[in-house]
Amino acid sequence: MLDNVPLCDICFISGNPGEQEILVGKLHYREVQTALSLLHSGGNFLLKLFTMFESDTISLVYLLSCLFNSIDFYKPGSSKEGNSEVYVICRGFRKESVGECLDLNKAFDPVCQDRVILGRGDIPDEFLDKLYQGVLLFTEYQISAIERNITLFKQDIKSNPLDCARLDKLQTDIQELYLHNCRLKPIPDCDLIMSNTKNTLKQILTFDGRIENGAYKERLAKENLTLDQYIVEELSHIDVRCEDKPEMRCIDDLHRINFKEHIHLVKGKTLHSLQSSIFCLARLFKLLYEIRRERTDTNEIVTETEEQRKQRFLSRLISLNLPHNSTDTLILDLSSHCHLTHPNVYLSQLELLQLLIQTLATLPSQHSILLINIPLLTQFTVSTLVLLTGRLFEKVWFLLLHDSSSPSHSSHGILLHSLQRKDTEGILQHVADEYRTSLESSQNKECVLSVLPVTMLCEHPLLYKYVFEINCCVLKNHILSLIQSESPPET
């Protein structure tokens, strides 16, 4: 829409809700000015307002009443009851009346600070009385809605299954009534452009739900925090309690799914760095890039050595009584392939896949592989893990070793238990060849993004849950490690 516009000002109102009406005043005047210059006689105009307490807003509304046959205030059912949003419906534009009004150029001048077009004596008392009645009506509705919301919040209605069931039924009844009244029918499954992913999306949205930013006073208080204090404060409100997660969890039914039938290579633009992931909280990525934006020269994070990590995992495997034997379990430390620190994610993914193919070629039957700190943030790496487990190994164990005193020492691992068969069909090698060919033919501009449909990766409730929780803990610990690496040494 703005391709041919040389310069465009975009208005954002945030951080000062108490002054919303004053702050958007110029925007409303410009909207009216644009409408008056475009409308023909008899035309209609819809203007969105908030509160109508200030003189310039009252003056503007009276101007509209003079230029249109009728104006009505309307709050649609889709507008939240708790906000002050109101729509002014102006019908029957009297274009000839514009010339009879005051000179509007001054009022619409962006340099002019005083946008009160008319004085108090120019506006009839009858108009002010009607406007007052309308404002009072909407204000009472808003107060009632806010009070009800506060009451429901205190009652914690979600904890009562019967109340939740009643609300769900009410929502369903309203949906069916709307469909019936509007004569709407669902699109047949055979005509859908995208498959019905309602259940999958519901699970994903449950894990990465709505972001609550707190009350206005709480947001103001955060403005005085340092970056480190702000990050720690935000992390405290994100429900990622790594220390509460089980250290080991198992999935043993992936081999029952015929993944070969669902293999579909999706190609797209190469990833140099990750901005988000469907397998992790978006809020954590936001905090990570807050740090990276403010600090271009972050210090190196001090971590364990590769040998130290291996020994720690081996000792935990023994203490947790996991089915393993040090002689038949191959350990691969993949920390260097971390998507959060690797300069080119697309190269890291190919290197990781090639390493796994080489390892499988020499791995004896019934032996296992422990993958320490394998990256699980992209569809490609999760697809690779699922193919390995579902087609070649008996089961998969998810390991999470948390160290609250030193986040940089926290690690995770994937134990692919007991190799059952070799990749005789060369499926993984085919994926690697396609990946490499895409990079070479596009000069590193295109690669394979996924091997399996994202819905399949998310439909298995345990798989998605375990991967999601591991990634959240990894990202949270990485953020804490960045903060600690920047902290000045104690004197």
Predicted pLDDT of residue 115: 57
Q: Does residue 245 contact residue 400 with C-beta atoms inside 8 Å?
A: yes
Predicted pLDDT of residue 43: 93
Query: What CATH number has the domain bearing residue 340?
Result: 3.40.50.12760
Predicted pLDDT of residue 83: 85
Predicted pLDDT of residue 214: 63
Residue ending a domain, among 100, 117, 146, is: 146
Pairing of the two strands 446-450 and 266-269:
antiparallel
137 and 252 fall within a common domain: no
Q: 3-state DSSP helix/strand/coil percent for the chain, to nearest 5?
A: 50, 10, 35
Helix residue ranges, H only, 156-211: 161-181, 198-207
The closest alpha carbon to 167, from 157, 154, 178, belongs to 157
In degrees to the nearest 10, what's the CA dihedral of 83, 89, 94, 100?
Answer: -20
Q: Does residue 385 contact residue 376 with C-beta atoms inside 8 Å?
A: yes
Domain that holds residue 439: 242-297+307-486
136 and 248 fall within a common domain: no
The closest alpha carbon to 69, from 33, 97, 36, belongs to 97
> 428-466 burial, b if ≥16 CB within 10 A, otherwise e?
beebbeebeebbeeeeeebbbbbbbbbebbbebeebbbb
Residue ending a domain, among 146, 174, 195, is: 146
Rounded CA-CA distance 217/240 in Å is: 25
- Judge whether 188 lies within some domain: no
- Judge whether 465 lies within some domain: yes
Amino acid in the structure at residue 236: S
> How many distinct structural domains can be found in the chain?
2
Active site residues: 48
Mark the ranges of the chain whose per-residue pLDDT is less than 50. Answer: 1-2, 102, 200, 205-206, 489-491
Predicted pLDDT of residue 491: 43
The closest alpha carbon to 384, from 321, 318, 445, 430, belongs to 430
Q: What's this model's pTM, rounded to 2 decimal places?
A: 0.67
Rounded CA-CA distance 348/372 in Å is: 15
> 406-417 burial, b if ≥16 CB within 10 A, otherwise e?
ebbbbbbbbbbb
The structure tokens listed for 197 are 């992913």
Rounded CA-CA distance 177/181 in Å is: 6
Q: Does residue 393 contact residue 422 with C-beta atoms inside 8 Å?
A: no
Predicted pLDDT of residue 34: 86
105 and 253 fall within a common domain: no
Predicted pLDDT of residue 341: 76
